Amino acid sequence: MELEGKRVTLGVTGGIAAYKAAELVRLLVGQGASVRVAMTEAATHFVTPTTFQALSGNPVFTDLWDTGVANGMAHIGLSREADVLLVAPASADYLAKAAHGVASDLLTTLTLARDCPLLVAPSMNRQMWSHPATQRNVATLIGDGVGVLGPAQGGQACGETGDGRMLEPAEIVEELVAHFQPKPLKGRKVLMTAGPTFEAIDPVRGIANLSSGKMGFAVARAAREAGAEVTLVCGPVSLPTPRGVTRVDVTAALEMYAQVMRRATAQDVFIGVAAVADYRPQTASDRKIKKDAAPRLVIELVENPDILAEVAALPRPPLCVGFAAETGNLAEYAEKKRRAKKIPLIVGNLVQDGFGGDTNALILFDDGGQHTLTPAPKLALARQLIARVAALLESTHAPH
């Protein structure tokens, strides 16, 4: 229920993606939002107002001259009663009118008369999207502070493929949740690691840590929600990339080290969440090692670079945050690790409390002592962690 109590006015314009707006309303209501729908006349040719009324539980508005509104000013009421105006799908025609202040129907008049933020999810043919006029209109809207969600790339109703697809309803909901989060990291750059690393023994075997990557991906999403430009260097995991996050896939610790070090000096924050293998085989076989090759297999290991420590030792390091996953003596080991690496904040957790699951229990260790976070879903904990990181950053680091 991440949108509990939020009031959303949803504008629906004409286009085949209007059918997705019905699912969008269902998801918004399921997240606790109150939804009121305003449709253009063209939109009613694709989905009926009755559909949206049934899904939202509220009257649907289609006419600027609706006499059912007490004062005859639906375009005013729908704005004043909303926390956000979300237009999905947003056609090329609507974007053009919104960019130039045209108020020719209920939705465009509402757009001009609003006193709440405007988010648009474009949906149109690929050539309409790429047309210079549309791109100028989108640039104007962005310059006016309008949030543009998407569009995505893929197959289109016309049979062509390219940019212009409306984001899927679940993606739009994620963007709306992010919109309502505080933005203490706006303008900041955050570099992160997540997941395990895999150190090859031969083409089919290797050494790895048991990490799902879920905590790291939650922190990446929370950092992006907080307004940061986020780069996530992750080991072999199959999790979907959080929206708006730049993902760099690696396999082994040396690859992760190289990708981090080439970016670290330009960052404001580095958060090392990855469960990096401490050791790797000194040599890896280029062929599968057969069981009958020898009665006993000996693998010589060498130590991997300590990525967090090396970033912290840079001449002008970003604010560094580490993670310590332990099976016992958490406070002792986490604080020892924090001091050894000379970092301001480390996040400790017991393996049995969170590895692989969707919830976790975290303790933050910094110069002020230890701060226990109530066990919660990983995204909720990630948002608390990012709030703490933002506070530390504000007090100690100027922007790069």
Q: How far apart are CA 400 and CA 102, in angstroms?
A: 41
Three-state secondary structure call for residue 70:
coil
E strand or H helix that includes residue 379: helix 378-396
- β-partners of residue 207 are 199
Active-site residue flag, 320 = no
E strand or H helix that includes residue 57: none
Whether residue 89 has a cis bond before it, omega within 30° of 0: yes
Q: How far apart are CA 103 and CA 12, in angstroms?
A: 16
Q: What tokens were used for 116? A: 């709440």
In 3D, which of 151, 25, 14 has the Cα closest to residue 86? 25
In 3D, which of 134, 127, 132, 123 has the Cα closest to residue 164? 123
* Catalytic pick among 116, 158, 234, 320: 158
- Per the listing, tokens 């001009």 go with 112
Residues annotated as catalytic are: 158
